[in-house]
Each structure stands twice: as structure tokens, then as C-alpha cells.
A = this chain, B = another copy of it.
């Protein structure tokens, strides 16, 4: 039997995707599924959709400021709201794919988690390429090598391809998940995802 797959679309500046990142592996294991992490450029997707970042909506933004920390508490994920928010994550995203291309998805996931912790726990400015390289060094990558990797055409191309693919598949926010093509938006959809992983359908819900 093929293992079920959860595709997990995230951006390193999305608090809700960060919260999801803290629980999705355990969730997947519980449901006998694998998780494929797909970092992408959320800003490009917003632009394409005619949507705006959360905090640019006055009421929805105020709600998010109250909701994000309590969600983190609810899901038992450590959270500190970053001083600079939101930030550009291009360097981190390219570094992620630079690592993935050379060392594989598991290695890239370790780096992605380190990047998330740096931003959403330790308040480090991950829009700064030097900080990204430092974080890379902390998980074992030579900074000069990583700097070359994140500027390489294959890393850039891979990020662009994943982002284009996200748009073509209808992704409009983060976290966004696919299970066998079925789309789920938001960390609060885990109960429905659990149902779908178990039953594979809605009609007998």
C-alpha cells in the first residue's frame, strides 16, 4: 500500500504556517502519512489573487494579532511575535531549495525548522541574508557554500517553479495542504484533514 502524502505549502514569514510546521509531522505520523514541505513565495500568490497581507486589513489584522499567539498556545507551539513583521523571505526560500537540491528534502526540512525558530521564537531578522547564512551554519552548512547555493540558478528556478505550481493549483494562502489533490487552507483544518486521511471521502462523513 502506498503511503498517503500531505503536501504542505508554507512561507517562512507566515505565523499560521509556522504553527502548522510545529505539529504537522506528529499529525502525519499519527495518520500514517508522509509530509512534503513546499516553501513558496506567498507574496507573489497574494498579488496574483488581488489579496493583501493579513495586517493590511484593519479588522482582520487586529484579529490575527490576538489570534496568532493564542493559536500557538492552543497547539502548544512556542511563539514570539517578531519585531519586524512581515519580512521578505526570498533568501531563506532560495537557501532552502539550494540545500534540498544538494542534500535532499530531509536536510532542507531541518534548515526550514531552524529558520522558523529563528524568526518566530528568537526574533531574528530572517530577511537579512547574513542571518540566513548564520542559521545555515548553525545546522551545518558552510556559509560560503550556502551563499553560492542560494544565488544559483537551480535554486532560484526551483523556487519559481514551486511558486508557479502553487498558483496553478489554486493556493492563495498559507499554510495550504493537499491530500491526494484535496485542498485544505489553514491550520484549523487539521480535524477535517484527519477525517479525510481516515475515510478518503466526505460522502460518508
Contact = CB atoms under 8 A, between A and B. Distances in A.
Interface in A54-86: 57-60, 62-63, 66-67, 69-71, 73-74, 76
A57 to B, nearest CB: 6
B205 A76 contact: yes
Integer count of this chain's copies in the complex: 2
Given A49-B59, A51-B57, A73 B172 contact: no
A39 to B, nearest CB: 19
Report, as a range, how many residues of chain A touch the other chain: 20 to 34
Interface in A133-180: 167, 170-173
A57 B50 contact: yes
Interface in A1-56: 48-51
Q: Is the interface of A mostly helix, strand, loop or mixed?
A: helix
A183 interface: yes
A70 B202 contact: yes
B202 A59 contact: no
A66 B63 CA distance: 26
Contacts of A183: 63, 66-67
A177 B160 CA distance: 39
Nearest to A189: B188
A108 to B, nearest CB: 26
A59 B203 contact: no
Interface string A89-108: 00000000000000000000
Interface of A: 48-51, 57-60, 62-63, 66-67, 69-71, 73-74, 76, 167, 170-173, 183, 185-186, 188-189, 191-192, 195, 202-203, 205
